[in-house]
Amino acid sequence: MFHKEGYKIIIIATFIVGIGILAIDKLVELVWLNKLLSLLFLGIYVLILQFFRNPKRHTMINDAHIIAPVDGKVVVIEEVFEKEYFNEKRMQVSIFMSPINVHVTRYPIGGEVVFSKYHPGKYLVAWHPKSSEDNERTTVVIANKTAGEILYRQVAGALARRIVNYAKPQMQVVQGSDAGFIKFGSRVDIFLPLNAVIKVNLNDRVKGGEQIIATL
């Protein structure tokens, strides 16, 4: 199953790879080189397919739980001053996605979208300390009756050149459902109340849409 954001790229890639392999077969006479180039084309095609995969996730909806919005590696757990929306201290948990991770963004909590903003910016590597403030990014805040307001931020990385964000103000969203997509490497930051109990450690690998990263 593939994400809808990848349909156009997959169709174009299928066409290019098909034409490329036919051209190699016609033009390259050396058998070993013919096979090598064909395998290279197929390898790139497989990478594109796996990047846009969209596996089903089974979310146990719970307003006291914050679930991982993406697959990836926990690279930040720290108390920070969040200055875009809250203007107060929050616990930040950041998850880095490599190009081989599933890149679907899922809502970490259900509720009403009260803030959604896109910021153009740089393309520093996603684990850079300044990427959360300087890179292209979107900021979304969800208000939940139990958890209060939870902010998450999609951050573009060095390879990412398009962030897709489905959250719009006044939308009612369901925990674990599709919130967007970031193409080709990125990270997501979640800003939680200081009393949140963090359930992950640095360098943990988490599973978006299912794994609990904090409780309230």
Residue-wise pLDDT tens digits, 30-44 = 878 888 888 988 888
Q: Which residue has the higher pLDDT, 67 or 164?
A: 67
Alpha carbons 51 and 13: distance in angstroms, whole number: 13
Residue 156: what are its φ and ψ, rounded to 5°? -70, 150
Is 131 known to be catalytic? no
The pLDDT value given to residue 122: 63
Alpha carbons 183 and 180: distance in angstroms, whole number: 10
Averaged pLDDT of the chain? 87
For residue 200, pLDDT beyond 70: yes
The pLDDT value given to residue 52: 79
For residue 196, pLDDT beyond 70: yes
The pLDDT value given to residue 50: 76
Helix (H) or strand (E) holding 165: strand 163-165
Per-residue confidence band for 7, with pLDDT thresholds at 50, 70 and 90: confident
Alpha carbons 127 and 110: distance in angstroms, whole number: 27
The pLDDT value given to residue 125: 58
Per-residue confidence band for 83, with pLDDT thresholds at 50, 70 and 90: very high
Q: Are 150 and 144 in contact (CB under 8 A)?
A: yes
Q: Which residue has the higher pLDDT, 23 or 115?
A: 115
Q: Which residue has the higher pLDDT, 120 or 93?
A: 93
Most confident of 2-16, 38-52, 140-154: 140-154
For residue 172, pLDDT beyond 80: yes
> CA 6, 12, 14 angle in degrees (round to 5)?
95
* % of the chain with per-residue pLDDT over 70: 90
Per-domain boundaries in the chain: 4-51, 65-215
> CA 2, 165, 122 angle in degrees (round to 5)?
105
Domain range 65-215, CATH architecture:
Distorted Sandwich (2.70)
